[in-house]
Chain A
């Protein structure tokens, strides 16, 4: 119906403005969206980094010490700080958006969005506490 020429069966030229390449710079909300999407790079990096950490632990105390030294280098710390910022941004935006997708009715009443989000943030705190307790011992 709306073919490549833009003509429809109604025989008028369809108004479809071309989207500029830097469309995401035009509005603050678009930019925030793209930053949110780019947090996926930080997520990918984190998986790689954490697998390297796990590997170093499994290899033995020397390998682990080498990993810690590598991780302590200034540029590594910087990379991980930036990655952490992105990952936290991902988590916060994710939990705040969850109520839009997860709609729960309890006894005929809609569960408020704040409760759904709150449950997620609560789970975040609990999960973090458990992991920290496991690691630090």
Chain B
């Protein structure tokens, strides 16, 4: 944040395409309908879709201030919004960016981003869940390399 209501979003916009922020799905739904989704499935990612790109989390995050390349809370929360969306099949496309050193691993769970968020997105929670998912996936592929995923 530069001043009240004056926000620097250049870095956010520059990094945005890297997390593939759209639904990745090769299966076209039948014409005249859409991909169906239950309320339960909606609930899985809804919280992370509430982001209004206000950048307050970036102002609050000390790691983002110190580490130029860190993706940051809103971007990772947005990536999770798509990863957890039942209509999306693009998690494998996002995993490289997320598991780069400047992705989830740079976060030290200060938690200020979630405190600052006016929409209750809880980006810190999104990042920790992403860390756990990435780490367990790493472990699985190491222990069971013949698995299909």
Contact = CB atoms under 8 A, between A and B. Distances in A.
A adjacent to B, CB under 8 Å: yes
Interface of A: 1-2, 8-10, 12, 14-17, 19, 23-24, 27, 29-30, 33, 37, 97, 100-103, 108, 110
Contacts of A33: 108, 110-112
A52 B13 CA distance: 54
A53 B122 CA distance: 43
| Interchain residue pairs A-B with the least CB separation, the first 9 | A101-B128, A100-B125, A15-B8, A19-B65, A1-B14, A33-B110, A101-B132, A19-B66, A100-B128
Interface of B: 2, 8, 10-11, 14-15, 40, 43, 62, 65-66, 68, 108-112, 115, 122, 124-125, 128-129, 131-132
Contacts of A10: 10
A24 B110 CA distance: 11
A39 to B, nearest CB: 13
Q: Is the interface of B mostly helix, strand, loop or mixed?
A: helix
Q: Is the interface of A mostly helix, strand, loop or mixed?
A: loop
A133 to B, nearest CB: 32
Contacts of A100: 122, 124-125, 128-129
Nearest to B69: A2
